[in-house]
Amino acid sequence: MSKNLSIAVGVLCVAGAAGLAGNWWGARHANGSASRVEAVSPTSAPAMPKERKLRFYRNPMGLADTSPTPKKDPMGMDYIPVYEGEEEDTPASSNQLKISADKVQKLGVRTEAAALRVLDKTVRASGRIEPDERRIATIAPKFEGYVEKLLVNATGQGVARGQVLFEAYSPELVAAQREYAIAAQGVQALALAGPDAQKGMQQLAVASLARLRNWDVSEEQVKELAASGSSKRTLTFRSPVSGIVTEKKAVQGMRFMPGDALYQLTDLSSVWVVADVSEQDIGSVKLGARATVKINAYPDKAFAAALTYIYPTLNAETRTVPVRLELANPGGLLKPGMFARLELAVGNKAKVLTVPVSAVIDSGARQMALVQVGDAKEGRFEPREVRLGARSENYLEVLSGLREGELVVTSANFLIDAESNLKAAIAGFGSSASTGMAK
Task: Say if CB 269 and CB 326 are below 8 A apart.
Answer: no
Chain mean pLDDT for the chain: 77
Look up the domain containing 252 and give its range: 141-260
pLDDT band at 395 (very low <50, low <70, confident <90, very high): confident
pLDDT (0 to 100) of residue 369 = 87
Task: Say if CB 324 and CB 309 are below 8 A apart.
Answer: yes
Pair (145, 250) in one structural domain = yes
Q: Which helix (H) or strand (E) holds 392?
A: none
Residue that wins the pLDDT comparison between 345 and 399: 399
Q: What is the dihedral of CA 59, 62, 66, 68, to 10 degrees?
A: 50
**Residue 340 is which amino acid?**
A
In sequence order, what are the beta bridge partners of 362? 367
Please tell me whether residue 353 adopts helix, strand or coil conformation: strand
- CATH number of the structural domain spanning residue 419: 2.40.420.20
Instruction: Specify if 90 maps to a domain.
Output: yes
Sheet with 80-83, side-by-side order of all strands: 66-67, 54-58, 80-83
pLDDT (0 to 100) of residue 255 = 94
pTM of the prediction?
0.56
Given a cut of 60, whether residue 439 has pLDDT beyond it is no
Residue that wins the pLDDT comparison between 376 and 433: 376
For 96-150, what is each residue's pLDDT tens digit?
Answer: 777 767 777 767 778 888 888 887 778 889 999 999 999 999 999 999 999 999 9
pLDDT (0 to 100) of residue 317 = 92
pLDDT (0 to 100) of residue 235 = 86
Q: Which helix (H) or strand (E) holds 342?
A: strand 339-345
For 4-37, what is each residue's pLDDT tens digit?
Answer: 434 433 433 434 444 433 443 444 444 444 444 3
Domain end, chosen from 229, 260, 291, is at 260
Q: Mean of the pLDDT values across residues 212-230? A: 76
Pair (68, 147) in one structural domain = no
pLDDT (0 to 100) of residue 280 = 85
Query: Mean pLDDT: which of 103-112, 156-165, 345-354, 381-390 is highest?
Result: 156-165
pLDDT (0 to 100) of residue 38 = 42
- CATH number of the structural domain spanning residue 320: 2.40.30.170
Pair (197, 244) in one structural domain = yes
Pair (77, 109) in one structural domain = no
Residue that wins the pLDDT comparison between 397 and 274: 274
Q: Mean of the pLDDT values across residues 256-276? A: 94
Q: Cα separation of 138 and 259, whole Å?
A: 10
pLDDT band at 223 (very low <50, low <70, confident <90, very high): confident
Pair (90, 101) in one structural domain = no
pLDDT (0 to 100) of residue 39 = 40
Angle at which helices 219-228 and 171-189 cross, to 10°: 60
Pair (293, 250) in one structural domain = no
Nearest residue to 303 via CA among 51, 129, 132, 85: 129
Q: Cα separation of 410 and 416, whole Å?
A: 11
Residue that wins the pLDDT comparison between 173 and 222: 173
Nearest residue to 390 via CA among 122, 114, 125: 122
Given a cut of 80, whether residue 410 has pLDDT beyond it is yes
Q: Cα separation of 82 and 241, whole Å?
A: 84
Per DSSP (E only), the strands in 76-200 are 80-83, 97-98, 110-113, 115-118, 122-131, 136-139, 145-150, 158-159, 164-169
pLDDT (0 to 100) of residue 90 = 43
pLDDT (0 to 100) of residue 94 = 52
Residue that wins the pLDDT comparison between 187 and 301: 301
Instruction: Specify if 190 maps to a domain.
Output: yes
Pair (397, 359) in one structural domain = yes
For 182-211, what is each residue's pLDDT tens digit?
Answer: 877 777 767 667 677 777 777 887 888 888
Please tell me whether residue 136 adopts helix, strand or coil conformation: strand
Is there a cis peptide before residue 81, judged by omega within 30 degrees of 0? no
Domain end, chosen from 291, 323, 345, is at 345
Question: How many domains does the structure of the chain reveal?
Answer: 4
Residue that wins the pLDDT comparison between 20 and 348: 348
Q: Mean of the pLDDT values across residues 218-229? A: 73
Instruction: Name the least confident of 90-94, 124-128, 152-156, 173-177.
Output: 90-94
CA 235 to chain centre: 58
Q: Mean of the pLDDT values across residues 378-407? A: 85
Residue that wins the pLDDT comparison between 14 and 275: 275
pLDDT (0 to 100) of residue 190 = 72
Domain end, chosen from 61, 94, 127, is at 94
Report CA-CA distances (Å) from 34 to 25, 39, 204: 14, 9, 152
Instruction: Specify if 328 maps to a domain.
Output: yes
pLDDT band at 49 (very low <50, low <70, confident <90, very high): low
Residue 371 neighbours by CB distance under 10 Å: 22
Q: What are phi and psi of 261, to 5 degrees?
A: -80, 110
Given a cut of 80, whether residue 430 has pLDDT beyond it is no
DSSP codes, 163-187: -EEEEEE-HHHHHHHHHHHHHHHHH
DSSP codes, 285-341: --TT-EEEEEETTEEEEEEEEEEEEE-S--BTTTTEEEEEEEEE-GGG---TT-EEE
Pair (195, 286) in one structural domain = no
pLDDT (0 to 100) of residue 244 = 93
Longest Cα–Cα distance in the chain: 216
Report CA-CA distances (Å) from 1 to 14, 261, 269: 20, 178, 168
